[in-house]
Amino acid sequence: MRPISIGQFIFSALVLVFFLMITVQPAAAQSAALDASANRGTVPVTADPDPAGSIKGVVTTSDGKPAADVTIVISGTKKFALTDGDGKFAFRHLQPGEYLLEVSLVGYETIKQQVTITGSQALSLTIRLNAAQKMLDELTVTGVYNKFNKKETEDVARLPLKNLENPQSYTVVTREIMQEQQITDYVSIFKNIPGAGIPIVYNQGRTSMFARGFMTDNLIRNSVSGFVYTNIDPANLQRVEAIKGPSGTLFNSSMISFGGLFNRVTKKPVDRNFTELSYSAASFDLNRLTMDFNRVLDTAHNTLFRLNAAVGTQQSFQDAGFSRNLMVAPSFSYKVNDRLSLLLDVEASTFNATSPIRFTPSTKGKITNIKDLGIDYKKSFTNNSLDYKTQQLNVFGQVNYQLSEGWRSQTNYTRTYSATKGYVTQLIGYGKTDDSLQQQAQIEDFPYNGTEIQQNFIGDTRIGNLRNRVVIGVDVFNQKSNRNTPTVNMTPINFLHPGAAYNNFNAAKIDSAAAHAAYQIYRTNIYTYGVYVSDVINITPQLNVMLSLRGDRFDNKGTYYPAQDSTAGAYTQNALSPKLGIVYELLPERLSLFGNYMNGFSNTGGADFNGVGFKPQQAYQWEGGIKLDLLGHRISSTISYYHIDVSNTTRDDIDHPGYSIQDGVQLSRGIEAEVIANPMPGFNVVAGYSYNDSRYTTANKNVEGLRPATAGPQTLANLWLSYRLISGKLRGLGAGFGGNYGSSQFQTNTTTFSFQIPSYTVLDATVFYDQQHYRLGVKVDNLTNERYWSYRLAPQMPIRVTADITIKF
């Protein structure tokens, strides 16, 4: 019998866990000796006495709204209950006596209430939570048990749609899982996103990931442009949303890929006072301090302020390389009156680092796998004097105004600045031998400036008997850049035996050579004007249809070259982007079937041999699947199949050398699955699986029929298991374990040369103790010390231990 692979094993385990969670009742509910209806709090409050005593009640927020999935524990016993969607709960079969109820919910202080049962008394309670303790991101309550299940967001559809109402696939990585996994760098967040793969870190610290077979940059912040070509610090993030598929209808297509987009949502001021200070220390001399400070500035609770900050240093695991960062992120909100509210959110940072390793193999060598090449995993082939500094400033403003009962106005404004100054480096395979490389450096002075203004009108109204949830919007986007860069190539060296030449790659040598190098000096300037409308129509309470359309005007002012006092490459293009979505809730609020037909586009400059200008590349996706939200939010899952056709790609015109024709086609199709579950109290599961089949169907002959190297691994899987004690003297003690698997992928894949990156399995584990005023944690990344590489052939972090302490007051 053929042995099973690691990837097949993980996928089989995911399927087994998923079906067990659907078919098996929570073990703790059985051990609590409660009947199912009592344990889930579904029994209505009545005056009829039970055979024994009982406690029934309802939990509300301070504004009188029911609070779902609140935990109520009878102290000293194994009995517990969760409130249902109406805030109700019940305990049955209680003997006469005194009981202490502990009522808890994430973001609220625990309430303790003493009650007395006499005989067969049916005691009825109303418990009110203090709204001032509520965190902004917990408007949709998913409870202390399934703490990673926070799928409700307005960002995906720009409308307040529930996950089961939304005809699009998406994943939300919450701050709760970031905290449990002791995330200290932005790229580690993506371990929890199905199909994201190993992040690609570029020379300036900016990053890309994979989404449905396409490289996808991190250019969206708070649902609008967050265009920064620098490092992103996770300390200011509330969550990261991976929105799948070509979403050009509601987002600026120049900021996303045909596979989707990653929206980073920042922390906003909330209506309570708190301070959190965290310190992390890890292998390779990581030192990191973060602060989260929030204050209510007036007695009416209309003026709120929040400040997040981070400072850190770290050395590379290789013989050279470092990073140092400083980030401050103040945010301010003001409620002018019941109709008008204002938000200002600022993020500023500096980052000083050396370039991550990047290696491009020689296409004339005989070795075709990075693992066989023999490059020393811990040699950087660079020098700490070859560093760069970046700056970024991201300003986001939002004005919300309630126009009427059914309509509101939302105005968004963002201004971004990011600049890199210093040395960026890469390594290039050289000549016909497999053991030679050439070191290359650029001295960058490269600022980017971006501005986006967006106006949305969001409504919830009826036309006849049909409910319509509508967004109508316009946006204007501008991006400018300036480049001033010389490139220096060093004398090739033997990377197996570099000798004294190893030390020649330094700032003094590069500066000397740059004095005679040619400079790239130019400026770019582009504008995008968009208008869009999206309407979700409820045909019946269980059936809704989404109809969306966007029109774009792209205006590239061209690239200006000061030396020639000339501009080249200017062009304009228009594009339409439609979207159709259908959702049918087979079981209302529990099981829905969904399908979508979506479009995204990418602007392409140039013309063919006959002078006919190129059109925008277009990606069309159709997708179908199911979404689950079962057992009172204990199981949330999305499983889908997608098919993406990309047309209007360019390829070489073999009849007219030097020209291109625009008839290329690329296909990307696959399966994605995600499960977020709470099989038993205190035990949480996050699991994902993706399979992607991607190929060029019409392209240059050297790649036609092949998988693009930029499509990433064909199979990816992620898993995180977490258990935390929720009662007893050790309440708050927990552990987590998980990992990621990726099949082999290509760095280059053509008919003449193919270079492979091997598959990988990386395992992580953590132990933590979380209390009201402090949190202690220890995390081990890459437990088995796996050696693995990114698409750019950058060696990834070996085993690393991180210790963390957080003080909360």
In terms of domains, do 395 and 362 share one? Answer: yes
Distances in Å between the Cα of 568 and the Cα atoms of 520, 618, 683 are: 15, 24, 59
In a domain, residue 8? The reply is: no
Rounded-to-integer distance, Cα 326 and Cα 313, Å: 9
140 lies in a domain? Answer: no
DSSP letter, residue 433: -
Two tokens, residue 399: 């004005």
Query: Token pair for residue 362?
Result: 């020689």
Confidence at residue 106, expressed as pLDDT on a 0 to 100 scale: 56
Arithmetic mean of pLDDT over the chain: 89
Stretch 8-27: mean pLDDT, rounded?
Answer: 46
- Coil, strand, or helix at residue 688? strand
- How much is the pLDDT for 228? 82
Q: What mean pLDDT comes out for the span 595-613? A: 94
pLDDT-above-90 percentage for the chain: 76
Asked if residue 312 has pLDDT above 80, the reply is yes
Question: Does some domain include residue 382?
Answer: yes
Gap between the Cα atoms of 70 and 662, Å rounded: 57
- Cα–Cα distance, 316 to 787 (Å, whole number): 15
pLDDT at residue 82, rounded to an integer: 77
Identify whether 24 is part of a domain: no
pLDDT at 780 over 90: yes
- CA dist., res. 673 & res. 690, Å (int): 6
Neighbour order of strands in the sheet with 88-94? 88-94, 53-60, 122-128
Q: What is the dihedral of CA 492, 495, 500, 506, to 10 degrees?
A: 70
The answer to the question of residue 12 being in a domain is no
Q: What is the CATH classification number for the domain harbouring 378?
A: 2.40.170.20
pLDDT score for 650: 94
pLDDT in tens, 697-724: 999 999 999 999 999 999 999 999 999 9
- 741-766 average pLDDT score: 97
- Domain of 47, CATH number, reads 2.60.40.1120
Helix, strand, coil percentages (3-state) for the chain, rounded to 5, are 10, 55, 35
Q: What pLDDT, on the 0 to 100 scale, is given for residue 726?
A: 86
For the chain, the domain total comes to: 3
Angle, CA 336 vertex, CA 334 and CA 338 arms, to 5°:
115
**What integer is the mean pLDDT of 57-80?**
77
490 and 583 part of one domain: yes
Q: Do residues 103 and 156 share a domain?
A: no
Q: What is the CATH number of the domain that holds 186?
A: 2.170.130.10
- DSSP-derived 3-state class of residue 387: strand
pLDDT (mean) for 228-251: 95
563 forms beta bridges with none
Instruction: Tell which residue, 269, 353, 349, 352, has the closest CA to residue 309.
Output: 349
Q: For residue 177, which phi and psi values (nearest 5 degrees)? A: -75, -30
Helix extents (H) in 275-399: 370-373
Q: Among 104, 134, 164, identify where a domain stops.
A: 134
Q: How confident is the model at residue 277, as a pLDDT?
A: 98
Of 619, 541, 637, residue with least CA distance to 585:
541
> Mean pLDDT over residues 243-250, rounded?
95
Question: Cα dist. 322→38, 200, 384, 385 in Å?
Answer: 57, 17, 7, 10
Q: What angle do CA 4, 370, 188 make, to 5 degrees?
A: 75
pLDDT over 50 (residue 121): yes
Q: What is the pLDDT of residues 36-55, one digit of tens each?
A: 333 333 333 333 444 578 88
Mean pLDDT over 644-671 rounds to 95
Structural domain including 83 reads: 32-134
The span from the CA of 68 to the CA of 55, in Å, is 17
Both 571 and 599 in one domain: the answer is yes
Whole-angstrom distance, CA of residue 421 vs CA of residue 442: 10
Indicate whether 532 and 623 sit together in one domain.
yes
> Which tops the pLDDT comparison, 604 or 139?
604
pLDDT in tens, 538-569: 999 999 999 999 999 999 999 999 999 999 99
Contact between 669 and 644 under an 8 Å Cβ cutoff? The reply is yes
Do 199 and 293 fall into the same domain? no
CB 422 within 8 A of CB 436: no
Of the residues 245, 266, 287, the one at which a domain ends: 266
DSSP string covering 1-16: -PPPPHHHHHHHHHHH
Q: pLDDT for 267-298, tens place per residue?
A: 999 988 999 999 999 999 999 999 999 999 99
Q: Is 595 helix (H, G, I), strand (E, B) or coil?
A: strand
452, 224 Cβ separation under 8 angstroms = yes
Residue 122: the pLDDT is: 81
Same domain for 336 and 255, yes or no, is: no
Q: pLDDT tier at 597 (50, 70, 90 boundaries)?
A: very high
**123-159 confidence digits (pLDDT tens):** 888 888 864 333 333 333 333 468 899 898 999 999 9
Is 19 within the bounds of a domain?
A: no
**Which of 111-125, 418-432, 743-757 is predicted least confidently?**
111-125
User: Which residues sit opposite 691 in a β-bridge?
Assistant: 671, 715
What is the pLDDT averaged over residues 407-424?
Answer: 96
Of all residues in the chain, the percent with pLDDT exceeding 70 is 90
**Cα 262-267-268 angle, rounded to 5 deg:** 125
* 693 and 717 co-located in one domain: yes
